[in-house]
Amino acid sequence: MKLTVFGEILWDVFNNEKKIGGAPFNFAAHAAREGADVRLLSAVGKDALGDEALLACTRMNLPTDGIARVDFPTGRCMVTLENDIPSYDLSGDMAYDHIPLPEDLTDTSTAFYFGTLAQRGEESRATLRKLLFGDGQQYDEIFLDINIRQHYYSDELIEESIRAATILKISREEIGVLQIPGDLPVICKTLLKKYGNLKMILVTMDRDGAMVYERGGKITRSEKPNCEVVSTVGAGDAFSAAFLVHYLNGCSIDECLKRANRLAGWVCGHVEAVPVYPMDDIRKWKAIYRLLNHVETETYDCGTLCDSACCICKGSTKDMGIYLFPGEHLLLRESEKEEDWLTWELQDPAEIEFPESWTGPVYFVNCKTPPVCPRKWRPLQCRTFPLKPVIDENGVLELIWEDEELPYTCPIIEQNLPIHDSFYKATYTVWMHLLRDPRIMDLVQSWS
């Protein structure tokens, strides 16, 4: 699914440290992680910060061909946090005020995202108007994250922006700017009546969670993310990205809100607006493997109980192998420098029943000579079988026996044999680490 994102790329500066940001950039990076094919239209300067911004885009897998280099400084914003609430100081005439019209106006995107800040510059605003109202532009959805910053808005700009959108995202604090009397549902009803183009309004309400008010009056609410807050910078953009991507994928509003909350909660636990997914780091996988290197289900290799049933799967007609978790391939590729023991297959997560947040290819490996393998390189699924993680109704991690139908009989499951306490504890610790990666959390939730 293709998504065009228009607006600012800027450096958020916290206490002399700088982090790449800007709501459209954050949104684009999160949307790409959630599986969208993103086209980012923006501008950076011909300066060192511009070079770094393009590098940051590449690192986030965002294409840079829609990002112009212009004769203005790359955007920057001073961010201060008070009680975890960010405030922003945006200054000067910046590159993102001068986003030019792209040479290639062909756009096959399903949806378009924009906000108000980049429209403070006449040049960017004129470009946006042409993109939204030009000939032949037909998006299924136009998502406006109103994102009011300082004094960079006017009644006329807000009016024109809302008139262009099909989905409006606004925070409870921002809604006052619209000067509509009444409580939130009344304000949303009034807005939907005034703007026939809007299908729904998404209101974020800080500690009270979020609410979606749909045309027709249906209200869906969600609790605020359950997380320890380090910084809320970028959380709203993550929320918008997850909501829109999953909405475009056909998820129910309830499901979109759940996924949006989950991603926003994870971002709140980090200083960065777009944190690196934890398990994309080979050092983390090394630590995980180390934790499990010295524990077995029993004090001996349980494969002797069953003639290594789960390695060999005698009589199975299925192509047996093991799926790797996000980032795990980094470590197993290393193993191949020492051993030639795996065959690799790349699978498309969309064609197998994996969560939509699994955007990259999924690696499926087969052991060449099972049950003989280099023990220190066994993939995670081998190491933790037959324990399976699930999340209970209180959000607590539990380990249960694998309950999927298997093409072999595992005596540990069948006979409910006791397993070694150290194995249980190490496996629990490992899953607690893995669940910090929202993709793995999505997978485990799908099993629960």
Q: What is the smallest separation between the CB atom of 305 and ligand SF4, expressed in angstroms?
A: 5
**Residues in contact with ligand SF4, shown as a per-residue x/- string from 304 to 333 under the rule CB under 6 A:** -xx-xxxx----------------------
Q: What is the smallest separation between the CB atom of 392 and ligand SF4, expressed in angstroms?
A: 24
Q: What is the smallest separation between the CB atom of 377 and ligand SF4, expressed in angstroms?
A: 7
373 in contact with ligand SF4 (CB under 6 A): yes
- Taking the least distance from each CB to ligand SF4, the nearer of 373 and 435 is 373
Q: Which of 382, 390, 397, 444 binds ligand SF4 (CB under 6 A)?
A: 382
Q: Which of 246, 378, 388, 439 binds ligand SF4 (CB under 6 A)?
A: 378
Amino acid at the residue 264 = A
Q: Which of 411, 425, 429, 446 binds ligand SF4 (CB under 6 A)?
A: 411
Instruction: Determine the interface stretch with ligand SF4 among 141-149, 150-158, 171-179, 405-413 (rule: CB under 6 A).
Output: 405-413
Show contacts with ligand SF4 in window 332-371 (CB under 6 A). 367, 370-371
Q: Which of 385, 387, 434, 439 binds ligand SF4 (CB under 6 A)?
A: 385
124 in contact with ligand SF4 (CB under 6 A): no
158 in contact with ligand SF4 (CB under 6 A): no
Q: Which of 130, 303, 313, 428 binds ligand SF4 (CB under 6 A)?
A: 303
- Taking the least distance from each CB to ligand SF4, the nearer of 298 and 398 is 298
Show contacts with ligand SF4 in window 283-302 (CB under 6 A). 297, 302
In the complex, which residues of this chain contact ligand SF4 (CB under 6 A)? 297, 302-303, 305-306, 308-311, 367, 370-371, 373, 378-379, 382, 385-386, 410-412
